[in-house]
Structure 1
Amino acid sequence: MLRILLFSLLIMGTFLSACSGESTSSNSVMSSDENGEPDDKQVLNISEESEIPTMDPSMATDVVAFQWLASTMDGLYRFGKNGEIESGIAKSHEVSRDGKIWTFNLREDAKWTNGDPVTAHDFVYSWRRAVNPEVGSEYGPYMFSGVVENAEAVSKGEKPVEELGVKAIDDTTFEVQLEKPIPYFKELTTFTTFLPLNQKFVEKHGEDFALTADALLANGPFTFTEWEAGEGWVLEKNEDYWDEKNVKLEKINVNVVKEVSTSVNLYESGDLDRTGLTAEFVDKYGSSPEFSTIRKPSLLYIKMNQENEVLSNENARKAIQRIINKENVANVILNNGATPIGGTMPAEFVSHPESNKDFREINGNLVPYDTEKAKEHWKKAKEELGMEEVELNLLGDDIGVSKKMTAYFKDQLEQLEGLTINVQSVPFKERLRRNSEMEYELQNYVWLPDYLDANTFMNLWVTDGANNKTGYASEEYDQLIKRANNELAQKPVERFEAFLKAEKLLIKEDAVIAPIYQKGSAKLQKPYVKGTYRNPMGSGYIYKYSYIEAK
């Protein structure tokens, strides 16, 4: 059974005060000593703020699912120590001279937890399923279109799934035909949507697939043994994993804990081995040797649904971009290593191929905090709309820090005369659904990179893009992204500069989103937890090499 957490008693816990701490890089090991002796009790106890909506690789769109799919599944390749790509189901691969045909040689000792071998046919089935319009995957068309041959036509129902550019030469040889050379294709194969699926198992469970522990099949380091909706889940070491000798943890207990204060109390009592921290706790624990912060390559911004009459107005959107004090958000509300941002590309993510200057440094802050300018735009917007009083809904998650953030945004936005903001705090899964259906007006939204290339942030906003969900459509923007990924694909300087221009158009001219901050993370972790690495794409931790050191 899941560990029973005595919340009512632990809430009474008290805290020691502290004042400062040192940052670590996003790819650093959580604890640098990997030479200690493992403890006999290899059990890690952690928490998540949100439930997993689904563990279906074709349907998952959120970081919680990405985290636990990465812990239970191997794709062709996976992220390992220090964020380096390592072998998964693929032992090796070859690429044709023109860069369009990738042939993956699969290992023969990889198994599913039902005993079936993992074969090339599992990749063919999964990748076809991801772009099958009848399945309705969001990420499938987004990740495969323009990459794997015929993916876009298949996802639009213009060609049958059998014409997707994938082929099982035999059980251990998987061939992929690309639309064009993709220099980061190996990195793409580490992403959730590219994971294999066992067709027999998926079809047996039908609509219930990947929604309970009994309806899950693993081929990675761990496997789900319990999953209680709203409460948490338990993972245990997969004894049939091809690399099980390098997996030291026997069990990972995960409890859903929405409030940071509760999580901190559980950490203090010894019921959790790691907890995230919000601003008030950073001040208390900052000097603790168990404290650390990182800056993640992910952003929080306010999405604005242009199907709404008010938000279809460019001046209204520009007012919203400039009225929020982003310094206060990052340094006061969060105080966890987050930094204000004025674009859609995070800092320290990609650099100019010649000057090596950071993308964010080159384009700078495209929408600085400026209340006077914001109010000027708002006055023009009301005149153009013929409105004096405006009411907008702001959608956010119902967990502690998100609720505080949404309340702060409401206060800031209502500085615009005549504007009333109605806050809608909903469970994470419900917010994802409303975003997918565009059932929102304003929304707090986070985006993490899917691969190490500027395109992962820039192609979000193309017309009718699977992750656009704002109603934005710009032929000029579409052309810039198209050129960057086609005729400029082998011209890195020109490609980079096309992305710079596209960001200025997106943020400064068209005001599609209101960028707020680049995410940071402050946490406490017990010193006996060793060998845990950050996923370099910002979607959580790598537990394959984690262990509990003997105390």
Structure 2
Amino acid sequence: MSTSWKKGLATVASISMIGVLLAGCGTSNGGGNSAGGASNTASGGTSTSDNSKPVEGGSITLDLTQAVPDLDPAVAFDTTSAEIEQQVYEPLVTYKGSTNDIIGDLATDWNVSQDGKTYTFHIRKGVKFSNGDPMTAKNFVYQLQRILDKKMQPKPSPGASFFLNITGAQAYYDGKAKSISGVSTPDDYTLVIQLDKPEQFFLKILAMPFLSATDPSFVNKVGNAAFDTTKAMGTGPFILQSNGQNKVVLVKNPNYWQKDSQGNQLPYLDKVTMNVNNNPELDSMHWEQGQTAFMSPWLIGGDGIPTVAYPTIMNSPKFSKLVMKEPMNSMYYIGLNVKKTLDGKPNPLSNVKLRQAIEYGFDRSQYVKLENGADKAVNEPMPDSIEGFVKNLDPSAQYTYDPAKAKQLVKDAGFPNGVTLDMWNTNQSTSKKEDQAFQAMMQAIGIKINLHEVTFKDFLTKAMSGDAQVFFSGWNQDYPDASDFLNTFFNSNQIPENNMTNYSDPQVDQWLNAAEFNASASDRDNLYAKVINKVMSEAIFVPTTETVGHWCVQPWVHGFYTSNITYDPMAYIWVDPGHNS
């Protein structure tokens, strides 16, 4: 199992929200994310709710499996980075606790025009960046310009395509305009965004970290490269004290604007130390011994409990009662790059028969066993918990484990003596076990797999360039909708950063684009079913397992709640008096 996910890039809100948003000519939130801390732990989902009065101060220590690849909210696009981003930065809107309800964050409230194309946000007054600079509406305009700067160095934002429906965004992105015509700031605390066409899911796009408030004077001072690696600075509850390959340290932001329902200043904690430790045995041991405050899918990756420790923790009366569970709406898959040439050489995987051979030669039950049953098998490119999952795939889109058929397909593809492929993955112990299992499966059907197991950051660099021939990856929702998976995986406009297999089919693009703005649930389901059946019949990638999240939280940690959309709620966590870890 990969220990970190590449973060999803969603494009459509759930259909249940469409009526609310289109009718929302006065959607508002009455002041802050009251979903946090002592006041929010009962807001839905699983939480460590109690009636104790929160205690200010204290610190916690956590294990983080991977070093943080990116800190710049315009650039970061993985779960490890997003765990840190949520503590340092804030967007216009966010989710209430563990629910799917959108509430204001740096916007107190907003209005949507009758035609659904104009959003007017009222920006929270009195908010400061952690260095003391005031936050205004112009900070969002600046960040949007950074997102849409395709020449931004050292690397551009992978989230630009999300915002191209904003009027004038495409012209700005193409370098044909010096400003984004559809964005304006009538005053310091009003932000107006005009869309080319109604986008029912626009608020959920804004809830992602990309368009967080950033300070132009600070970014210009330190430069984009440092801003992405060591010099993060936002309006969030914590300040980044240091970010290294071995440790990440966050300290309380004294300028943070938010208070809990009792008037206590957030965050409660003074310090959070995250030790980068890619040894899952140590991760679990540290928690079992009380050295770390909690383990979570966002910190540890996968389902949140290291595979090696899953039986011990779940079978222990002492530990099992400290585990919270929630479906993650995430999945793992083996991507098969269909590009005609790679590194100047013909790519054997451009042959559909060879890709189908891999499908028939893969036994996903082995992966379930390697994960000790924590996850379950999946046979299409999104979890079965997502609306639009196809219960009965077309015969051409179904693959049973059939090594004999796989061997014949390798020969039919023109490789009677077998073929060699390069596979890329992270260098974690759980990943290595699955790599070796896949390698053995492929060897049995005449395919030799050369393994390249690298750091998560190097893996992202390789895979997101579109140059990884075979790769093992995971995808975690931005919010629960089929488009979050299907549009991202298979739309041509997502090549190569998100559509890392380089798959391009005009018919699939047409179906995906039609579904994007369709308000009919049945129509969308039908279009997505066509996409799923076609891409599976063409064997673009091999779905492996889907994830159930597990959070292991110490009894002395309070205010904790789970979410499969947002990250660990460190702003609302407090610890027993005198307890520091």
Residue 144 in structure 1 maps to residue 172 in structure 2: no
CA distance in 1, matches of 2:186, 2:375: 47
Q: CA deviation at 1:369?
A: 5.4
1:291 is matched with which residue?
323
Could you give the per-residue CA deviations for residues 258-312 of structure 1, whole angstroms, max 9, x where no partner exists? 0110112222333212234233322112133223443311111011111252110
Matches within 5 A, 1:379-394: 379-394=408-423
Q: Secondary structure at the match of 1:93?
A: strand
CA, structure 1 residues 77+225, in 2 after alignment: closer, same or farther (shift >3 Å)? same
Q: CA deviation at 1:313?
A: 0.8
Q: Secondary structure at the match of 2:227?
A: coil
Q: CA deviation at 1:210?
A: 2.2
Q: Secondary structure at the match of 1:194?
A: coil
Residue 401 in structure 1 maps to residue 419 in structure 2: no
Residue 179 in structure 1 maps to residue 184 in structure 2: no
1:267 is matched with which residue?
287
Amino acid at match of 1:243: Q
Residue 154 in structure 1 maps to residue 183 in structure 2: no
TM-score of the aligned structures, taking structure 2 as reference length = 0.82
2:452 is matched with which residue?
424
2:379 is matched with which residue?
342
Amino acid at match of 2:575: I
CA, structure 1 residues 392+264, in 2 after alignment: closer, same or farther (shift >3 Å)? same
Amino acid at match of 1:270: G
Q: Is the Cα contact below 8 Å between 1:47 and 1:272 reproduced in 2?
A: yes
TM-score of the aligned structures, taking structure 1 as reference length = 0.86
Q: Is the Cα contact below 8 Å between 1:50 and 1:64 reproduced in 2?
A: yes
1:303 is matched with which residue?
335
**Stretch moving more, 195-204 or 386-395:** 386-395
**Stretch moving more, 191-200 or 94-103:** 191-200
CA, structure 1 residues 336+371, in 2 after alignment: closer, same or farther (shift >3 Å)? closer
Residue 247 in structure 1 maps to residue 267 in structure 2: yes
1:11 is matched with which residue?
none
CA distance in 1, matches of 2:390, 2:398: 14
Amino acid at match of 1:519: T
Q: CA deviation at 1:479?
A: 0.6
CA distance in 1, matches of 2:181, 2:499: 24
Residue 326 in structure 1 maps to residue 364 in structure 2: yes
Q: Secondary structure at the match of 2:138?
A: helix
Q: Is the Cα contact below 8 Å between 1:57 and 1:192 reproduced in 2?
A: yes
CA distance in 2, matches of 1:164, 1:195: 20
CA distance in 1, matches of 2:57, 2:390: 45
**Stretch moving more, 181-190 or 361-370:** 361-370
Q: CA deviation at 1:41?
A: 5.0
CA, structure 1 residues 200+261, in 2 after alignment: closer, same or farther (shift >3 Å)? same
CA distance in 2, matches of 1:27, 1:142: 32
CA distance in 2, matches of 1:253, 1:201: 24
**The one of 504, 510, 516 aligned to 2:538:** 510
Q: Secondary structure at the match of 1:52?
A: coil
CA, structure 1 residues 453+40, in 2 after alignment: closer, same or farther (shift >3 Å)? closer
Amino acid at match of 1:266: H
Could you give the per-residue CA deviations for residues 485-528 of structure 1, whole angstroms, max 9, x where no partner exists? 24xx2333212221121111112x22111111112334532112
1:279 is matched with which residue?
307
Residue 456 in structure 1 maps to residue 493 in structure 2: no
Matches within 5 A, 1:2-151: 28-31=45-48, 33-39=49-55, 42-83=58-99, 84-135=101-152, 136-145=155-164, 147-151=165-169
CA distance in 2, matches of 1:314, 1:104: 49
1:533 is matched with which residue?
561
**The one of 226, 231, 252 aligned to 1:237:** 252
Q: Secondary structure at the match of 1:219?
A: coil
Could you give the per-residue CA deviations for residues 388-414 of structure 1, whole angstroms, max 9, x where no partner exists? 221111111011211222122212222
Q: Secondary structure at the match of 1:299?
A: strand
Amino acid at match of 1:291: V
Could you give the per-residue CA deviations for residues 366-406 of structure 1, whole angstroms, max 9, x where no partner exists? 8655232x542542343333442211111110112112221
CA, structure 1 residues 42+349, in 2 after alignment: closer, same or farther (shift >3 Å)? farther
Q: CA deviation at 1:82?
A: 2.2
Q: Is the Cα contact below 8 Å between 2:329 and 2:480 reproduced in 1?
A: no
CA, structure 1 residues 273+415, in 2 after alignment: closer, same or farther (shift >3 Å)? same
Q: Is the Cα contact below 8 Å between 1:296 and 1:520 reproduced in 2?
A: yes
Identity level (%):
23
Q: Is the Cα contact below 8 Å between 1:141 and 1:151 reproduced in 2?
A: no
CA, structure 1 residues 106+362, in 2 after alignment: closer, same or farther (shift >3 Å)? farther
Q: CA deviation at 1:158?
A: 5.2
CA, structure 1 residues 174+36, in 2 after alignment: closer, same or farther (shift >3 Å)? same
Could you give the per-residue CA deviations for residues 457-502 of structure 1, whole angstroms, max 9, x where no partner exists? 121211141411212110110110111124xx23332122211211
Amino acid at match of 2:247: G
CA, structure 1 residues 361+217, in 2 after alignment: closer, same or farther (shift >3 Å)? same
CA distance in 2, matches of 1:471, 1:455: 17
Could you give the per-residue CA deviations for residues 21-51 of structure 1, whole angstroms, max 9, x where no partner exists? xxxxx973342x2322445653222111101
**The one of 311, 314, 317 aligned to 2:352:** 314
Aligned residue pair count: 508
Residue 434 in structure 1 maps to residue 471 in structure 2: no
Q: Is the Cα contact below 8 Å between 1:325 and 1:412 reproduced in 2?
A: yes
Gaps of 5+ in 2: 1-42, 260-264, 296-303, 342-346
CA distance in 1, matches of 2:102, 2:59: 26
Q: Is the Cα contact below 8 Å between 1:90 and 1:107 reproduced in 2?
A: yes
